[in-house]
Structure formats: structure tokens, C-alpha cells
Amino acid sequence: MADYKVPMRDIQFNLFELFDYEQHWQSIPKFAETTPELAGAILDEGAKFFENVTAPLNQSGDKEGCIWNEGVVTTPKGFKEAYEQYVQAGWPSMSHNVEHGGQGLPPSLGQIVTEMSGTANWSWSMYPGLSHGAMNTVAEHGTEEQKEKYLTKMTSGEWTGTMCLTESHCGTDLGMLRTKAEPQADGSYAISGTKIFISSGDHDMTENIVHIVLARLPDAPPGTKGISLFIVPKMNLADDGSVADHNGVSCGSIEHKMGIHGNSTCVMNFDSAKGFLIGPPNRGLNCMFTFMNTARLGTAMQGVAHAEMGFQHSLEYARDRLQMRSLSGPKNPNGPADPIIVHPDVRRMLLTQKSFAEGGRMLMSYCAKLVDLIESDDDEVAKEADAKLAFLTPIAKAFLTEVGFESANHGVQCFGGHGFISEWGAEQNVRDARISMLYEGTTGIQALDLLGRKVLMTQGEIMKPLTEEIHKFCQANEANPLVSQLVDATKLWSDMTMKVGMAAMENPEEVGAASVDYLMLSGYVTLAYFWALAAQKAQDTIDAGTGDLAFYQAKIQTAQFYFGRILPRTAGLAQTMVSGADNLMAMDVDSFAF
């Protein structure tokens, strides 16, 4: 079975037909030289690298895992060599600023490379992937000296980066963290504490790892208002910026995990390690969100990756596996049975995977345009893009990882008993996907952010740019047979927003009680918009008599499946989210015992 094939035709459809990236890049001066030809050449090279170099290491890396020995972590065979090729080819620097050695290409182009990398081998992709958030944090909040010392090396890929937030007694509630930062005479800080669940926290692929660490100053106020952010390198630097002696940073152990075995998830100990304040004192949480927002979009892409991998493997297997006869008559009369792809229930699972993989790719392509636009010279354009992205980020992160996991599970089901054993890779896809719903804030946390902080605190104003865009599309395409359903779904979304908001005015617990259902409904409606958009573009192309007829017909048919089989889930979610908090909160805590 093939490891992974980049869905290049679908990527090109999103870029140059659905979202008109050629015009988009030309509208932003710093990206104006990014042509379709240049993008195509870069993506073709990326496809070759990830299909041929990292994808073949996916299953072997899972079986071998990382090895910890007296504080030293060794990655699976082939990982280090693949990373060296990745750096030599210039992939880490692609979408970063030229001032620090980057190539200055659009972030949106880098996001497509991230999808390729992640689908090919999610465990491997995390080593360079975690660096992007660290780089963005240093670029946004670091001093010029810090940028020169650390950003240049991370941009080239010579060094990697991490974010060290979580401690054993606090996960999302970072106001409880205990790691200390003691001021030193030379202007540095002695960082002491233990962080857990640090992805790529230690490894053998680079000579230095730059940790971005949350800690408390001695005079810090309690809670989240007393958190500062620090750069803490694994290796101290000499005056000329070269690697010197080992800092007081060590890996205490690596976690034994359900999945992503090829990536080291570390317990990191900081023993009076030399660190440097980044950003203002006691404003670390604010600075950290530069990293977190990058990481949340990266995790949203993980959902797309697992949906795509589940679909590719399931499709190949379903075409070959012979089981039973079609109820409408033999489809493979010369064989002992028909391929399972002829059976309606297998089609249901394949189309669910396809609609989530391709729909998720559309959502991420849309978000990527907003990321580009934040760098526009037009302040108003940048501000509007930032606001829309703030609204869509929790939806993308939580919804796409939930449906990505669902798609991975469908993969096991398509394989039947073979899906439950390791040789086919379907069970690994499930195990690797499961963490995505926990990374960078669980689905519940993202839902509270969306409904409580984003929607209700703005009285729904944050939704309007997207819902108005949907309304304009519907008005312009009334003849599209999907539009009436999209209109109804968008109205349901608005109605539920108002109903939950009114209920929350009486009882604040209604927000938490409704939030996950609300987020999932938001995701289904958002994807419905993109599927309607894709179906319209496909129909227009067919009507013009151009392009690959089969490709565009498949887009329309997948959209019809989504509207007929997936979008109706919103009706049930609407009922559950307004059923009230009482059916969750009425039971006394002691009554849970049995």
C-alpha cells in the first residue's frame, strides 16, 4: 500500500480556482512576485520530498519510537537524516522574513507544505513544526539582539524551538504554574521548574533547541497576570553567537504515549537554567498567544492530515478488497466477489472522509489567505483579516481535529479486521490523530473561547463578516440547488447564537453547557459554505466546457453528499445546545459515585 500521495490537483483547485491566490498574492506587495508557476515548482518539489523521504519513515518511526538514555533522546532511524535533507533544501526558511535568512514567501504557501509534511509523517513533522511558533514569538516580541542570536539559526533550521507551558498540576489553567525566574546580575534570569508534555523537547536532530518558557518573577502578582516569558536555550551561547556549554536544561524522561511515537514528548527540567526575558514582565501570557495561535492553526491542519490519510488508505483498500456481491447485481462478475467500494455503507465512510479532508483543506486555505492579509500594507485590510481569523481559529482547530479523528476511525472500519492490526497503518492513524483534540487547548476550551470570549462578548459582531459573506454568496447564486439549505443552516446558526446568549444572561453555566455543540454546529455550517462555493465553481467550469469533467463532477457529488448526509447533524446539535444546563448540573457531585 502506498504511504502517501500529495493531493496536488485538489490543492491547485483551492489555490487558483476557488480562492484566486494569484490575484491575492499580487494584492500584497511583499508577496507580489509569488506566481502560480513559482508556487507550482515549490509544491512539486515538496511533494517529491515528503512522499519519498519522510512518508516511508512513518510506520517504522511509530514502531521504533524515541529512546531516552540518561537524559539524551534519540529519534527513530532515518529521522535525523531526513531532517538534514530538509534543512539543506531550505524548507525551514521558506515563509520567514528575509532579514533573518528567510525566503520571504507567503505563509499560505508554507501552510500547504505543512499539510504535505504532516500527512506524510506527523511525528517527524512536529520537530520543525514546533519551531514556527517559537520563531513567530521571537520575531514579534524579541529584542533585536535576541532576533539576531536565535531567530537566524531557527529560520535556517540549524536550531529548533519549543514552547514550555504545562506543568503537572496545571494544564490549561496556567495561572497556577510554579516555575520561577530569578533575576541575575548580568541581566539574565535563573529559570527553575519542571514542564511536562513538551513535544520535541529534546532530540538528536539539531545542536541546539530554543525553549520559550513561561515562569514567574519573584515579585509577580498571582494568577495569569503574573506570568512572564523567557528564552531558555538548551545550549548557552558564546559572545560570537556560537554554541558554548550546556545550559541547566535536561530531559527528565519521555512520555509513553498512545500515538505519535516518533516524536519525543518530554518532561523538561530547568535547574537554574540561564534564560532571557522576552516581552514585558508579567505579560508572558499575552506574548504566548503569538505562539499559541500559530500552533492552533497547525493543529487544525493535523485534523486535515489524518482525514486525508484515512481517506487515501481506505480508498485504495476498498477498490481492491473483494467481499460479497452488490445488492443490485455483480459488479465484478469474473471474480469471486465484488470490491467493497460498491457497497453503500463503505461509500458512506469514504465520502465522509473525502468531504472532511477536502472541506477542511478549503477552510485552511481560506484561513491561510487571512494570515497573508495580516501582513498587508493596508492597515484596515490587516485589521479585518485578523478579526476574521480570530473568529475562525477555534472553529478550525477544534472542528477539524474532531472530524479528522472521525475520519481516521472510519479508516479502521473500512479495513474491517485488518484495520485493527498494525501492518496497514489505519490503527496508527487513529492513535496519532487522538492527541489533536487535546493539543493547544482541548475541544472544550476552544468552544468556550469561541462562544464565550469571541461571540457572546462581542454580542455576535465577530460573526458578521463571515455570515454576511455567506449571505452575499447565497444571493448571487440562488439557482444553486444547495443554496436554500445553506441559507437555512446559516439562519439556524444565528438563531442558536441568540438563544444561547439569552439563556446565558439568566445562568452563566449555559455557556459551558452549550459551547461544544455550538462549536461543532459552527464547523458544519462553515464547511457547508465552502462546499457550496466549490460546487458552484465546479458547475461554472463544467458549463464553460473546460477542465477535467470527472474532477468537477466529483466536487459537485461530494458537496451533495455533505449537504444530504453531514449538514443535517446541525439539527440535533441545535436541540442539545438549548436543552439547558440543568440536565448537566442538577446532579449532586456525590451522586456520580456507584
Report the pLDDT value the prediction gives residue 295, as an integer from 0 to 100. 81
Summarised one tens digit per residue, pLDDT across range 430-460 is 999 999 999 989 999 999 999 999 999 999 9
Residues 6+ positions from 174 with CB-CB distance below 8 Å: 165, 214, 224, 227, 285
pTM for the whole structure: 0.97
134-171 pLDDT, tens digit each: 998 999 999 999 999 999 999 999 999 999 999 998 87
Asked if residue 179 is part of any domain, the answer here is: no
Over residues 76-90, the mean pLDDT reads 98
CA separation for the pair 29, 373 (Å, rounded): 11
In a domain, 178, yes or no: no
What pLDDT sits at residue 2?
52
Tell me the C-alpha distance between 259 and 310, whole Å.
15
Task: Please state, in angstroms and rounded to a whole number, the distance separating the CA atoms of residues 503 and 226.
Answer: 34
User: pLDDT per residue over 356-373, tens digit each?
Assistant: 999 999 999 999 999 999
Domain that holds residue 527: 452-583
Give the chain's domain count.
1
Amino acid 291: pLDDT:
66
- Tens of pLDDT, residues 476-521: 999 999 999 999 999 999 999 999 999 999 999 999 999 999 999 9
539, amino acid identity: Q
* Predicted local confidence at residue 315, as pLDDT: 98
Look at residue 90 and tell me whether its pLDDT is greater than 70.
yes
Residue 593 has pLDDT above 90, yes or no: no
- Give the active site residue among 158, 440, 469, 510: 440
The pLDDT of residue 574 is: 98
Q: Which of 14-18, 175-179, 363-367 has the lowest mean pLDDT?
A: 175-179
Section 205-226 average pLDDT:
94
Q: What is the DSSP string of 193-247?
A: EEEEEEET-S-SSSS-EEEEEEEB-TTPPSGGGG-EEEEEESEEE-TTS-EEEEP
Question: Is residue 440 annotated as a catalytic residue, yes or no?
Answer: yes
Is 469 within the bounds of a domain? yes
Q: pLDDT class for 573, splitting at 50, 70, 90?
A: very high
User: 129 Cβ partners below 8 Å, 6+ apart?
Assistant: 114, 117, 118, 298
pLDDT band at 175 (very low <50, low <70, confident <90, very high): confident
Cβ atoms 228, 207 nearer than 8 A: no
Is 445 a member of any domain?
no
How large is the average pLDDT for residues 69-88? 97
Identity at 431, one-letter amino acid code = R
State the pairing for strand pair 228-233/189-199.
Answer: unpaired
Which residues have C-beta within 8 Å of that of residue 491, sequence separation ≥ 6? Answer: none
Q: Is the confidence at residue 1, as pLDDT, over 70?
A: no
* Arithmetic mean of pLDDT, 590-594: 86
The answer to whether residue 8 sits within a structural domain is no
Residues with Cβ < 8 Å from 301, sequence gap 6 or more? 111, 114, 115, 118, 364, 400
**pLDDT for residue 106:** 97
Q: Which three cell numbers stand for residue 257?
A: 504515549
77-99 mean pLDDT: 96
Q: Diameter of the chain by CA atoms?
A: 83
pLDDT at 461 over 90: yes
Q: What is the mean pLDDT of residues 555-582?
A: 97
The answer to whether residue 567 is domain-embedded is: yes
Res 317 pLDDT > 90:
yes
Bigger pLDDT: 547 or 500?
500
Cβ 305 vs Cβ 407: under 8 Å = no
Task: Answer yes or no: is 44 within a domain.
Answer: no
**Is residue 258 one of the residues assigned to a domain?**
no
